[in-house]
Structure 1
Amino acid sequence: MAPVEKYYKYWLFLLILGASLPTNAQDTIAPPTLSHRNIQIGYGQTIRGASAKVNQHTRSATTADQLLQGTAAGIYAVQNSGQPAGEMGIHIRGFRSLLASNQPLYLIDGIPYYNETGWSSAGSVFGPAASPLAFLNPQDIEEIRVLKDAATTSLYGSRAANGVVIIRTRRTLPDSLKVSFNVSFGSQTPIGTYELANANEYAGFLNQAYNNAGLDARYDNPNAFGTGTDWQNSIYRDQAWRQNYHLGISGGGEKVKYYLSGEYLDQTGIIIGSDFQRYSFRANMDAQINDRTSLSNSLTFNRVESNTVASDAGYNESGVDVITGSRIFNPILSHQNADGSINRFHFAADNAGLSSGMLQSTFIQPNPLLLAGSTDSKSSTSRVSNNLQLKVSILDNLSLNGTIGVDALFNEEYTFIPGALFLGANQGTGSGAKLDALKFINQYFLEFNQKYSGDQKLDLVAGYSWEGWRREVLAGRSVGFDNETLRYYSLTVGQQKILNSNISEWGMQSFFGMGQYSYKDILNLTLSARADAISIFDNKWSLFPTLAFSWDLRQSSLVRSQKISSIIVHSSIGSTGNQSIPPYSRFSLLNEYNAALNGATINGISIDKIANNQLEVEKTEKYDLGIEVGFKENHLIFDLDFYRENTRNAIGLIPLLATSGFEYGVANIASISNQGLELSASTNHNVGTANASFQFFISLNKNKVESLDLQDQLISGLPFSGITDWSLTKSNYSLSTFYKRNPDQFEQSILGSAAPKMITGLFSKWDFKDLDFSISLHGAFGQKMINANNLYLQNPSGEFNVLADYLHSNIAPAFEPGKPQVLTEDLIEDASYLRVQNITIGYTIPSTLLTGSSIKKLRIYGSVENIFTLTAYSGLDPDVSHFGSLTQYQGVDLGSYPKAKMFLLGLNVDF
């Protein structure tokens, strides 16, 4: 491929970038904020360091984590699934752990939240679980700030290695009674479908496959079948609707201020049988009790309900998932025969186009329309959170702060698969699970602020924190229903019953402190440390110190150029940690097994994991050097950051020999590094009579396994479509590396990595009188993807329907049912992409037309999401992950729930 053709997407991106930059600008509006100044990092502290403020007010996101995609340098966000409120994978400055989570820590109004489905879901529904942040209404968010380096994250110690996302919800100003009502309606359609062989083409393909296998042709007249059934189209709704209503009320006086809100969201999935609803209420209150005492409280109640379909890696019952099934199912067959019977399985068709009763493939594949429409997979979660903060000024320069927070979650999940989807009688399967989780935090700290002569200032903070959570699950499963009328409401009807229950507990206590010295706000020196005692580890106490400084060269007169408005250099060195592994990882675990002996089933218990009392929290050393330069009174700002992060003791699973008596162990086994460069640019100008703002970023990151203890490499890979052992963790390669074993069984071929080499994003907003327009783009480049869909859609065996283009390929089909699947280079594709994520156009009714009414502002807008994607990837979407956020298993596309292109009309009214 010629260089120009290979990098066409880069050239196009630069063209868009150039077109978005304003020219002949008049600097008459407020400049953008310098990102390294006065960063609120919690605990009442501000610091200069590497962070990013997310522009979240232009997208109609369903969940808060969707707002992070393509908005800031260093954030690689993957939409794992396109189902409503589907899980997002958020990775800040690369991957750094094998077993522990690579997701950041979220703090919402001071309460820590874990963006992991294991915390908020019992794990029994089909398909990927909803995002753990699905409870949070994005319209209640005032600001999102992402903290990346040691300077900004150090006070969060053992949970900050993956970065920290601080979310602050809306408050209000004194004497500002305001009522706002926002409503939006939208329509969703799939971003695309595969072009597959129709009935007569598939029949001709089968005839050729049979002939090449030395068999008689399967069909006398393939053309007689016509186009047949479009199974892809059968599982999609004609229109999937989305409606959202939000009411906010804020007001108060000097003593008491409040913000109240309520929301209802109803989003129908593009695949039949899937949907999502959210009900939320929030009450934020700030009170000045007296001159020395203030109180803040944040209370929220949420309930989310969803129906999911069998998609991605969340289905392991009869056959493959709904999406894959709709692509491979026999197009000659109709859903319903003339006699009213349903074609339940992927049967071979006879010359009349009717089911022959014989399976077309070697495994049982249910009718995808039946699988989507007749199964149940329901989840409902109620959540109550409250955070009370009290601040008492003991002296003019000394204050005591206290926080008491609680987060209670109640989750129920139910599934049912009717027996019609299984061969044989009484094979219906139902399950039910309930999860109760309680999290609490008690936190107290002292703040000391003192100004000295010569414009010197000293800020100190010291505190203690105690946190914990308890998670309890009770689950039941029943197989073989004689009567399916009550479905999952009566699991006792089943012939085989399985019960399961477990309790997990975790606790942590911490001491933390920070000291900041400032000279004229020109030179700032910061020393901070946090010590955490974590119940997960036998070696409980871990210390995380950090040293940071920043220097404003412009104010110090070292830089005198009038063209430069501001130039700030900052640097930090320190350590943070990652403790997000299962609570009992250091212990030996018992598992229940059963075996047949003399015709009877014998139950027993066995130890399958060896204990490790030397297990330690992962520690990541972070080094950061950055410079921020502002021009023309800071109307044009460039921000450059270089970083290196070393995780010295990453935790992983160690497979053990069978002779040891154990299956695996858990240990600190790897050293992993991330090194990169981040460049951001932002402008804010008047161009003629239009106000224009522009933000652009580009991030480069190199991920590398520096060393691997005990053995040279780890081979793993959750199975998909008969393929196992496809993921390789090896020194000098990045995490999420694909490989194949060559026929001699000794040599390996490295096929690529799911880790991107570059991510980029662009946002531009224009205001012209009463019109506003915004556009956002984001992309990732250099990563590879296993297009596992082609294991079926380019399969020459004739077992499955195939791509229309495959009919004209040079590969000769041959009927070989049951031929083993293997991972080849042909399945590995370049997954680089550039997506136009959102375009919004709005019109604000002139205030003169609202004179005499109670309406202060009325805005009408239209918005489009997931507009189009530029990519060389042959699948529908390179921005997916079949196995969710599991780091070692990134980069697989198989049966992923497609994203939706959404057209939205909305109304914003302020009273």
Structure 2
Amino acid sequence: MPQTKLLLTLLTSLTLSAGLALPPLAAAQTSQQTTAFTITGLVVERDGSPLYGVIVRAGNAKTMTNAGGRFTLTLASRPEGGRLSLTLSAVGKKTQQVTFVEGHPLRVVLEDAVGEIKEVVVRARPNINALDLRARSGVVAQVDMKLLAQKPMIDLSLALQGAVPGLTVVNRGELGMKPEIRIRGNNSFTKGDAANEPLYVLDGKIISPQAFMTLNPLDIREIKVLKDAVATALYGVKAANGVLEISSRRGVSGPMSISLSTQAGVTLRGRQTTTMMDTDEKLELERRMQVTTAPGYLFSPDFISSATLSDLRQSYQSTLGIAPTWTREEYLAYGSRQLDSLRQIHTNWWHDLIRPNSYQSHNLSLRGGSQDVTYYVSGNFSRQGGQLEGNDTKRFTLTNSLDWQSRLGFVSLGLTGGYAKTNSPNSSDFSPEQLVYELNPYETKSSQQLFSYPGRKYSDLTGQFRRWTKEIRFGTSLSANLRPFEGLQLDAVLGLDYVLNESEQITPATAYSEVTRRRPIERGMISVGKNTDFNYSANLRATYQRLFAEKHDLSISANTDYYYSEGRLLSVTGHGIGLQEYLAGVNKGLTSADLRPDFSGSNATSAQLGFGLATGYTYDKKLDLFAAYKADASSLLPCDKRWNTAWALGGGLHLEELIPFLRGGSLLTGLGLKASWGLTASLGGITSASAVPIFSYQQSSFYADQYRLIRLSTLYNDRLKPDQLKSVDLGLSVQLAHAHTLDVNLYRRDTEDALIMTDIPASNGFLSMLDNVGSLRNEGVELSASSRLLSGEDWRLSLRAALAYNRSKVLDLYGKTAIYSGDNVYPDYEVGRSYDYVYGLDALGVNPLSGELMFRDRQGAEQSFGKTIVRDDLVGIGYRTPPYTGTFGLTFGYKALELDAQFYYVFGGFKAYSMTYVRGVSDVNKNAIAGQVSRTWFALGDEDRLYPNPRAGTQTFNNLSHYPNTRMISRSDYLRLSMLSLRYRLSSSLLHHLGDVVKYATIALQGSNLFTLTPYKGGSPESGTYDLGVQPVLTLHLNLNF
């Protein structure tokens, strides 16, 4: 990687040198004589936010708006009558002419140029598949980058939660862990990211999900979410699960503008996922459980009065390490003193172990250029501390873009680089987070003996493991947007994306597990991993557009693209490193199966070649039609099955232009209908070994002591077909008075020949095989609305809301009614049921006479939880994945002060309560969920109890933990304040008094995920486990433009 760092450094230096050498056009054009006349004004978006980079012209004079949307244009003399016509233009906006009148403040609102068909403007556009004809009939949603940039979050993926209806983002746990991202739910029976995650495209090149996580939001101009077949058709089979299309910020013509953004603040503990017992209740639980390894019973009069002196000495010996020869009265006195001492301690382990931390992010960018060359350079450093000691993430990013304009069009070069490191104290089988729920409230960090972990001190539980992961990312794209003659546009892009992931896990030789289980020469473990992902993509597109009779706009586009992906994995694990905590310290002399050095590696490659054709037609801004066809060949499939297709048809009507009495109206200013239909093959669930034979070396088997044996990696299926996704989408958009909008989308997507790993007889030598097993339906509704209520010079108020409903249903399982994995009695999938339906037992409660937990089977008979559960015992309970997600928020402004707030909500899902911290006689020495004493049956006559007799059989508690039931499940709804920003813009007069060095400045108080409200008591409502959930972050932010 030294070459990468050198290349980035050199290119940055060259770019800065070029930018600094560019003539200061605006400055030169505004220097005037003594009779100069000055015009000032403000240019804003429709929502009132300032527009930067707008070119303002008056004859031969021109200037550009600053980051605050303000401009100053100086003329040689006063215009005649104090009136002057100005022309304002910006990329992506309609060119507008306004009249300046002396003595009247000038405020201009520029409208988006979406839908303009009478002229084609060639500009730098690395995302060459982002054609206007696609957006007219497809579902293309755009992320509000202004709101996104106000979320102080180090992870771009998590920051997208609630950004667009239909885009779901689920937090998976600790800081730095990749979240789950879906567009309109899951499309395959095969679960996991590989089969259901969207495609990520940055400036025309395909990037990995890991690379997307580390992008800097301030370097992004826009993010588009492509949802339906029309929107994704140009990408072919790669885009079956939707696309996140990211466009980077580019340079602008004008003097160099320097922007400095810095924020610092704190991360908070967040929502306590559950309440654990305090000392009094925990001691009482131990007494009721009657377990001598717990002090609540060991020191109680109940035990001391009933046990023999011999049993007392033996219990004290095994638990405390002492064998006193006391009288019973002395035992009673000692026990009383111990209990009184323990009752004085009330340790809140959540408060002690889950800690606030710090957050900081600093960004410096330079932007500018001449009429022919523009540049953008940005660097960012961010760090976020985790909730546990030893957990944090830091990231560096660098972005650089150059755009050259010639007579024929643009040539653009983009470079991105990044470095990220995450530290974690969590191993695969233990996390310090567990101690929050396991250490007792009467124990402290200085306790010499822990009842929760017999024989250990607190110091034996921390510092036992550490892990770090590093990511080094480099990407580049070279694109051309050329217009050799009227109507023809040629676009090409080449992109490279390289991500190197390195990891190291160490269990120190001093760790308790090593000291107690290993000999000195065996102590200390190290595991090192290295993973590289390389993506190369190329796309060439030719588009011809012709306008006939000023009404008929026809576009035809053809392309060919190529995509190559390579992933390499290497891992090494060794023991006996002692105090030498690096690979060279591994004891290579250890030969036992669990201690000898272990090496593993893999190399996987795939390639796709595609050819596509698309056409679009627009009639007089009233009717839009679109059709696309794409054929892609993949190296993952056998030769006779390599070619697969994606096609789409779409249309749109602009009724406000089509219906005469609506045309030109001031009330109903927009009324549109859209419809699309398409089919896309999906290769997401297919690996290189699924459909063709892939072999691997045996590690310890040889033939004739000289030939290494090879074996099939997995049992391949040469009849395998990709998932076939058929989709239908209907859309309605309404706009009132150019200020209030409503968008509605209905969709249905059927996946045929859906893939899943199916169980096969072990006589094949394998236990499972990927196969086409059935069909799945995914359907839903998406609503979004916005309203600009106030848009005056001083007062501004706008409201927004969105709601998405998604449900899935198994349509067919090719001759079966359900699919079961292994010996499971509940189905993985059942015809007519949801994709991830929850099955469980219809609990009736605890029998007050026997203490048995009872349930009702499908025939209505009462059964005990202690029986062996069979399929007929289970009933359907509800959806595991919440079908409803949405947001609502507001933007309120008064003069230079602005408030933004965004709420995210989820409802309709069910998650079972985890039984992990509901204690029985085997683990009552550890802390328990608060309230367990009053909800557990202990004696005859205990009524309305949730938990059975703690001495019920093992089968009862195994079933209780393994199967959800109707009394221990809850709705997983939640409401979260996902973003809050209070921003103040410093006045121009103040900046002038400071010397006009700073042209635009804001100061803001910003927060993300500040609180979460939920009725769910079983941990995190997102995961249904006792993970820590998302971190609340609160920062002070300063933004300066020079």
Quote the residue 1:907 is aligned against: 1038
- The verdict on how the C-alpha distance between 1:403 and 1:241 changes in structure 2, with shifts beyond 3 A counting, is same
2:216 equivalent to 1:110: no
Q: What do residues 831-876 of structure 1 show as CA deviations (whole Å, max 9, x unaligned)?
A: 0112121211111111101113210111111012222222210134
Residue of structure 2 aligned with 1:791, choices 916, 921, 929: 916
> Does residue 484 of the first structure (1) align with residue 579 of the second (2)?
yes
SS at match of 2:517: coil
Equivalent pair of 1:151/1:546 in contact (CA under 8 Å): yes
- Whole-angstrom CA distance in 1 between matches of 2:1016 and 2:716: 44
Alpha-carbon deviation of 1:562? Answer: 4.9
Tell me whether 1:669 sits opposite 2:773 in the alignment.
Answer: yes
- Cα distance, 1:248 vs structure 2: 0.6
What whole-Å deviation, never above 9, does each CA across 1:814-845 have from its counterpart, x for those lacking one? 36897634323144321011212121111111
In 1, distance between residues paired with 2:970 and 2:116?
Answer: 42
**How far apart, CA to CA, are the structure 2 residues paired with 1:330 and 1:282?**
50
- SS where residue 791 of structure 1 aligns? coil
> Could you say if the C-alpha distance between residues 35 and 791 of structure 1 is closer, same or farther in structure 2, counting changes exceeding 3 Å?
farther
Quickly say closer, same or farther: Cα 1:31–1:386, change in 2 above 3 A: closer
- Judged with a 3 Å threshold, the aligned counterparts in structure 2 of structure 1 residues 861 and 716 are, in CA distance, closer, same or farther, namely farther
2:890 paired residue among 758, 764, 771? 764
Quickly say closer, same or farther: Cα 1:396–1:369, change in 2 above 3 A.
farther
Question: 2:871 maps to what in 1?
Answer: 746
| Greater strand content | 1
Displacement of 1:462 after TM fit? Answer: 0.5
Matches within 5 A, 1:48-127: 48=136, 49-57=138-146, 58-81=150-173, 83-99=174-190, 100-115=194-209, 120=210
Superposed CA offset, 1:620-649 (max 9, x none) = 1110111111111x2111111111111112
Structure 1's 368 and 61: CA in aligned 2 closer, same or farther, altered over 3 A?
Answer: farther
Q: Which has the higher contact order (CA 8 A, sep 6+)?
A: 1
| Gaps in structure 1 of 5+ consecutive residues | 1-20, 23-27, 121-131, 349-354, 358-366, 597-602, 718-722, 881-892
Is 1:409 aligned to 2:499, yes or no?
yes
2:205/2:538 contact within 8 Å kept: no
What's the offset of the Cα at 1:32?
A: 8.2
Three-state SS of the structure 2 residue aligned to 1:60 is coil
**Whole-Å separation in 1 of the counterparts to 2:990 and 2:524:** 63
Report the Cα offset of residue 470 of structure 1.
1.1
- Kindly name which structure, 1 or 2, has the bigger radius of gyration based on alpha carbons: 2
1:328, distance to aligned residue in structure 2 (A): 1.8
What is the match of residue 147 of structure 1?
226
2:489 corresponding residue in structure 1 = 399
State which of 282, 285, 305 in structure 2 corresponds to 1:202: 282
- Give the partner amino acid of 1:400: L
Query: Is 2:550 the partner of 1:447?
Result: no
User: More displaced, 216-225 or 498-507?
Assistant: 216-225
- 1:524 corresponds to which residue? 624
Q: Using the alignment, how far apart are the partners of 1:287 and 1:648 within structure 2?
A: 47
Q: Specify which of 905, 920, 929 is matched with residue 779 of structure 1.
A: 905
Q: Report 1:755-904 matches (<5 A).
A: 755-788=881-914, 790-793=915-918, 795=920, 797=922, 798-812=924-938, 814=950, 820=958, 821-825=961-965, 826-851=967-992, 852-880=995-1023, 893-904=1024-1035
Q: Distance in 1 between matches of 2:296 and 2:176?
A: 50
Deviating more after overlay: 515-524 vs 252-261: 515-524
Give, as a single letter, the amino acid of the residue that structure 2 aligns with 1:846: S
Amino acid at match of 1:93: R
Question: CA 1:763–1:337 in 2, change beyond 3 Å: closer, same or farther?
Answer: closer
Aligned counterpart, 1:708:
813
Residues 895, 810 of structure 1: alpha-carbon distance in 2 compared, 3 angstrom cutoff: closer
CA 1:108–1:368: 2 relative to 1, 3 Å: farther
Q: 279-288 or 97-106: which moved more?
A: 97-106
**3-state DSSP of counterpart to 1:233:** helix
1: CA distance between counterparts of 2:290 and 2:788? 66
Comparing both structures, which one devotes a greater share of its residues to helix?
A: 2
Residue 45 of structure 1 corresponds to 131
Compared CA separation, residues 396 and 628, structure 1 to 2 (3 A): same
In the TM superposition, residue 488 of structure 1 has moved relative to its aligned partner by: 5.3
Per-residue CA deviations over 1:229-271 (Å, capped at 9, x if unaligned) read: 444334323x300111100100001100111000111111111
CA offsets 1:332-381 (integer angstroms, 9 cap, x no match)? 4444455xxx86x9434xxxxxx4x7xxxxxxxxx887555342211111
Kept in 1: contact 2:257–2:367 (CA 8 A): yes
CA distance in 1, matches of 2:581, 2:290: 45
Relative to structure 1, is the Cα distance of residues 528 and 329 closer, same or farther in structure 2, using a 3 angstrom cutoff? same
Once residues 346 and 108 of structure 1 are traced to their aligned partners in structure 2, the CA distance between those partners, rounded to angstroms, is: 51
The residue that corresponds to 2:250 in the other structure is 171
Q: Post-superposition shift, 1:518? A: 1.2
1 CA distance for matches of 2:432 and 2:839? 28
CA offsets 1:270-304 (integer angstroms, 9 cap, x no match): 1111110111111011111x211420111011011
Aligned equivalents of 2:395, 2:719: Cα separation in 1: 44
- 1:181–1:248 Cα contact (<8 Å) kept: yes
Work out which of the residue numbers 319, 341, 350 in structure 2 matches 1:232: 350
Q: Give the superposition deviation at 1:691.
A: 1.2
Q: Is the 8 A contact 1:678 1:697 kept in 2?
A: yes
Q: Which residue does 2:670 correspond to in 1?
A: 566
Distance (Å, rounded) in 2 between the aligned partners of 1:215 and 1:905: 48
CA drift of 1:766 comes to: 1.3
Secondary structure of the structure 1 residue equivalent to 2:162: coil
Per the alignment, residue 373 of structure 1 pairs with 463
Per mean C-alpha deviation after superposition, the further-off stretch among 752-761 and 521-530 is 752-761
CA contact under 8 A between 1:764 and 1:774: conserved in structure 2?
A: yes
2:689 aligned counterpart, secondary structure: coil
CA distance in 2, matches of 1:371, 1:445: 60
Tell me if the contact between 1:526 and 1:547 (Cα under 8 Å) persists in the aligned partners.
yes
Note the C-alpha offset of 1:543: 1.2
- Pairwise CA RMSD of aligned residues? 3.2
Counterpart residue identity of residue 465, structure 2: T
Q: Deviation of residue 170 (structure 1)?
A: 0.8
Identify if the C-alpha distance between structure 1 residues 799 and 32 changes in structure 2 by more than 3 Å, giving closer, same or farther.
Answer: farther
Describe the shift of the 1:604–1:195 C-alpha distance in structure 2 as closer, same or farther (beyond 3 A): farther
TM-superposed deviation, 1:92:
1.5
AA aligned to 1:543 is T
C-alpha separation in 2, matches of 1:142 and 1:548: 27
Residue 297 in 1 paired to residue 428 in 2? no
The DSSP-based 3-state class of the residue aligned with 2:185 is: coil
The answer (yes or no) to whether the contact 2:1019–2:1027 under 8 Å persists in 1 is: no
Structure 1 range deviating more: 551-560 or 612-621 = 551-560
Instruction: Describe the superposition over 1:735-785 as per-residue Cα deviations: whole angstroms up to 9, x where unpaired.
Output: 222324874523132233222221111121111101010100111111112
Rate the CA distance shift 1:860–1:387 in 2: closer, same or farther, 3 A: same
What does residue 182 of structure 1 align with? Answer: 261
Equivalent residue letter for 2:899: F
Answer yes or no: is the 8 Å Cα contact 2:578–2:585 preserved in 1: no
Which stretches in structure 2 are left out of the alignment for 5+ residues?
A: 1-46, 49-106, 300-334, 702-707, 842-856, 858-867, 939-948
Over residues 189-234 of structure 1, what are the superposed CA-to-partner deviations in whole Å (9 max), with x where a residue is unaligned? 2113332223453233112101799999322343431325444334
Q: For residues 498-528 of structure 1, give each alpha carbon's deviation from its aligned partner in whole angstroms, at most 9, with x where no partner exists.
A: 1001101010000011111111121111111
1:695 aligned partner: 800
Q: Aligned with 1:373: secondary structure?
A: coil
Change in 2 beyond 3 A, CA 1:346/1:608: farther
| In 2, Cα distance between equivalents of 1:444 and 1:590 | 36
Distance 2:254 2:434 in 1: 57
Residue pairs, 1:254-403, within 5 angstroms: 254-288=371-405, 290-310=406-426, 315-317=427-429, 320-337=430-447, 346-348=452-454, 355=455, 373-403=463-493
Relative to the length of structure 2, the TM-score reads 0.74
Tell me how far apart the structure 2 counterparts of residues 759 and 213 of structure 1 sit (CA, whole Å). 47
TM-score of the two chains, using structure 1 as the length reference: 0.84
Work out whether residues 981 and 1006 of structure 2, in 8 Å CA contact, stay in contact via their aligned partners in 1.
yes
| Structure 1: distance between partners of 2:632 and 2:382 | 39
SS of the counterpart of 1:824?
Answer: coil
1:473 corresponds to: 569
